[in-house]
Amino acid sequence: MAAANSRAQCSTCNKGNTTYICRGCSKDFCFQHLTEHRQILHRQLEEIINDHDQFQQTIIQQKQNSHNSSLIQQINEWETNSIHQIQQTAEECRETLIKVTQKLIDGVEKKFIELSKKLKEIREENEFNEIDLNHFQLKLTQITKEFLQPANISIQQDSQEFIKKISVISSFEEIQTKKNNFQQFAITVAGGNGNGQELNQLSYPEGIFIDNDNSVYIADCYNHRIVKWKLNANTGQIIAGGNGSGNHNNQLNDPRDIIFDKKHNSFIISDNGNKRVIRYFDQNQADQQVIISNINCGGLTIDQNGFIYVSDPQNHEVRRWKQGDKKGELVAGGNGQRNHLNQLSVPTFIFIDEDYSLYISDCNNHRVMKWKKDAKEGIIVAGGNGNGSSLKQLSSPHEVIVDHLGQIYVADWGNHRVMRWCEGDAEGEIVVGGNGQGNQLNQLNSPMGLSFDNEENLYVVDLGNHRIQKYEKLSN
């Protein structure tokens, strides 16, 4: 503060008493107001000191908690997301590796079981020589090497900045995705001796089933019987029916299809002429049960739960039957006879995959429909372009089966060929046949049923030639 100035007035009370000058604000104050002015300055100083102390505390807190900054939080979030992606990729790779390994083991096991069966046979028959022994030794060595040294599975690392992404690369999987090709000249494994009722003949066969021993079970329609032809047999044996057309326990009437129920170790037969579906236990015709009555049964299939699916060409629908059902559940069609996606026209053979998707030969619409589980309508997966012989057409298709790659095989009845379609493709390809209607080994005459054996050889029911044709799979 400056010295007193007797002539100036106080800037607060305007009195001419003795005053003092504040050099900070250059104002004059009497003693009383000078004191008040000083108090105001002290309060301002305290506020500054308080702000200073608070900021100092903020610095200390930031130093102690620097890992909580917003930028650190962004880094932490990036780290969490990256770890999640790595863990997810690792889990996907583990699942893929387990799946591929299991397929490899299953394939080796199948070959080993077949080898064991053949070894047992020659041991029991006591007929073998050095050539046989060398063959079996070589086969066992190959199987052992394939199992112990799986050269088809490896890990591939794809380098990226900061993160290396890994994936499972398997040539075993690549092999499996290749399309199978087949010999174009077939081997006749049943029938082929003209139309007749002798044990070496068939009469308009339709559906077939192949067991693990490559025995062929045939719905021998016009002979009203089911016959079994063992591998390399010259004649068949009657296992159901064969006592003329009728509806007694030992009779059938125009059987159309046959499937095997693993759960109950029995056959399911479409006894079309009697409008019923029966369960049959091999070698015991007396133990024959009617499980579905009053139904015009065209084709049969069975899912993993043991539920039976029946196509009804008369009512243009497919129904699912659970044990004890009085009336099956409608699962496809049932909306009249036309060509809309929720309709069918004379459905014949059917097939169900592991995802419970149902494949239906929609015969009079010249297409194959796929109805996913609980769907209200189907999608066209083969044909659907009218009756014709181009690669995008079918003519009255019958049996449909789907392989483990999801490829769809169709008995193209009117074109005397078997077609293969992949879902979404605009056209199919000829697998076997397609060389005109005839009875040569590279020809078919109105093919009906289809099936694969354990070695992926293709069997075709050659209805018009009264025979079953086997087309051997070619090595890729």
Which residues share a beta bridge with 181? 474
Answer whether residue 174 shows pLDDT above 50.
no
Average pLDDT (102-110) is 83
Q: What is the 3-state secondary structure (H, E, C) of the chain?
A: CCCEECCCCCCCCCCCCCEEEECCCCEEEEHHHHHHHHHHHHHHHHHHHHHHHHHHHHHHHHHHCHHHCHHHHHHHHHHHHHHHHHHHHHHHHHHHHHHHHHHHHHHHHHHHHHHHHHHHHHHHHCCCCHHHHHHHHHHHHHHHHHHHCCCCEEEEEEECCCCEEEEEEEHHHHHHCCCCEECCCCEEEEECCCECCCCCCECCEEEEEECCCCCEEEEEHHHCEEEEECCCCCCCEEEEECCCECCCCCCECCEEEEEEECCCCEEEEEEHHHCEEEEEECCEEEEEEEEEECCCCCCEEECCCCCEEEEECCCCEEEEECCCCCCCEEEEECCCECCCCCCECCEEEEEECCCCCEEEEEHHHCEEEEECCCCCCCEEEEECCCECCCCCCECCCCCEEECCCCCEEEEEHHHCEEEEECCCCCCCEEEEECCCECCCCCCECCEEEEEECCCCCEEEEEHHHCEEEEECEECC
Answer whether residue 91 shows pLDDT above 80.
yes
Comparing 174-183, 212-221, 443-452, which segment has the lowest mean pLDDT? 174-183
pLDDT at 21: 84
Using pLDDT thresholds of 50, 70 and 90, give the confidence band for residue 476.
low
Comparing 21-35, 84-98, 277-291, 374-388, which segment has the lowest mean pLDDT? 277-291
pLDDT at 175: 42
What's the pLDDT tens digit per position in 202-226? 999 999 999 999 999 999 999 999 9
Topology (CATH level 3) of domain 187-471: Neuraminidase (2.120.10)
Average pLDDT (330-349) is 96
**Percentage of the chain surpassing pLDDT 90?**
55
Average pLDDT (345-356) is 96
| CA dist., res. 465 & res. 36, Å (int) | 125
Angstrom CA distances, 26 to 9, 72, 476, stand at: 13, 51, 105
Answer whether residue 29 shows pLDDT above 90.
no
Q: Among 387, 313, 378, which residue's Cα sits nearest to residue 348? A: 313
Answer whether residue 443 shows pLDDT above 60.
yes
Average pLDDT (360-383) is 97
pTM of this prediction? Answer: 0.65
What's the pLDDT tens digit per position in 296-313? 999 999 999 999 999 999
Answer whether residue 286 shows pLDDT above 60.
no
pLDDT at 199: 97
Using pLDDT thresholds of 50, 70 and 90, give the confidence band for residue 2.
low
pLDDT at 1: 54
Burial 5-34 (b: 16+ CB within 10 A, else e): eeebebbbeeeeeebbbbeeeebbbbeebb
Average pLDDT (351-356) is 94
What's the pLDDT tens digit per position in 392-427? 999 999 999 999 889 999 999 999 999 999 998 999
> What DSSP line would sit under 113-150, residue for residue?
HHHHHHHHHHHHHT---HHHHHHHHHHHHHHHHHHHS-
Answer whether residue 329 shows pLDDT above 70.
yes
Half-sphere exposure of 308 (CA within 13 A, CB side): 32
| CA dist., res. 192 & res. 203, Å (int) | 10
pLDDT at 271: 96
pLDDT at 173: 46
Answer whether residue 157 shows pLDDT above 70.
no
Domains of the chain by residue range? 4-63, 86-170, 187-471
Average pLDDT (221-239) is 96
Greater confidence (317 vs 84) lies with 317
- Determine phi and psi for 422, rounding to 5 degrees: -105, 135
